[in-house]
Amino acid sequence: MTSEVVENEFEFYSKAEKYWKDVPATVDGMLGGYGHISSIDINSSRKFLQRFLRDGPNRTGTSRALDCGAGIGRITKRLLLPLFKTVDMVDVTEDFLTKARSYLGEEGRRVHNYFCCGLQDFIPEPNTYDVIWIQWVIGHLTDNHLSDFLKRCRASLRPNGIVVIKDNMAQEGVIMDEVDSSVCRELAVVRRLIRGAGLHLLAEERQENFPEEIYHVYTFAMR
């Protein structure tokens, strides 16, 4: 539980904001120096996501997606804009969203909203999104705030919409990273928070071909 490792909630969030303000607005900066894994990450995410976009009675729509913890728009540019008509981005760091406007190029015209906000305070519009993509950012939320945010995401889905989390998983327990003021949770904790938010897990997959020295990365789809 994050309550065991986060001593001061205000400090937990303010330290993270300060950390990201000093990070270069580049793909390498977004990935903590692991920019070379971006294509592996995107290709796996596309394959995972497309299983829900195929034809069928419960097919997820492709009208609008939300990129949470979007940074400069790495995922928006390479994963979401090629698959969805419009995309919204939310990130706590204003400089990243400013950079996104040039980084995304011509296709960026299909990004309708750039929300500068921490996810603990962000309220996505109800019944709006086909896919809400949350990658490498849940560690910046306490358990309570993550659960509450997932509940708001659930309310924000259109029919047959899905929420996707892709993130690092600890081997055991909840581990605090003092450098960027984030936590890494074990799989069982993340699954419990998903269920507690009233979401049903549709698929779960471990990322392959990432460097051995980093945490295992899992992708979850839910609605």
- Report the pLDDT value the prediction gives residue 20, as an integer from 0 to 100: 97
Determine if residue 92 is labeled as part of a ligand binding site: yes
- Report the pLDDT value the prediction gives residue 54, as an integer from 0 to 100: 86
Tokens of residue 107, six digits: 């296709």
Determine if residue 137 is labeled as part of a ligand binding site: no
Can you list the positions of beta strands (E) in 57-200? 64-68, 86-91, 111-116, 129-135, 157-169, 174-177, 182-185
CATH of the domain at 199: 3.40.50.150
Determine if residue 143 is labeled as part of a ligand binding site: no
Tokens of residue 151, six digits: 């509940």
Determine if residue 91 is labeled as part of a ligand binding site: yes
Determine if residue 93 is labeled as part of a ligand binding site: yes
Q: What percent of the chain has pLDDT over 70?
A: 100
Sign of CA dihedral 218, 135, 158, 84: negative
Determine if residue 88 is labeled as part of a ligand binding site: no
Tens-place pLDDT, residues 83-110: 999 999 999 999 999 999 999 999 999 9
- Whether the CB-CB separation of 170 and 185 falls below 8 Å is answered with yes
Sign of CA dihedral 178, 196, 119, 85: positive
- Whether the CB-CB separation of 183 and 174 falls below 8 Å is answered with yes
Number of domains in the chain: 1
Nearest C-alpha neighbor of 79 from the set 48, 109, 105: 48
**pLDDT exceeds cutoff 90 at 3:** no
**Domain extent at residue 208:** 2-222
DSSP element (H, E) containing 13: helix 9-21
Residues forming a β-bridge with 222: 163, 201
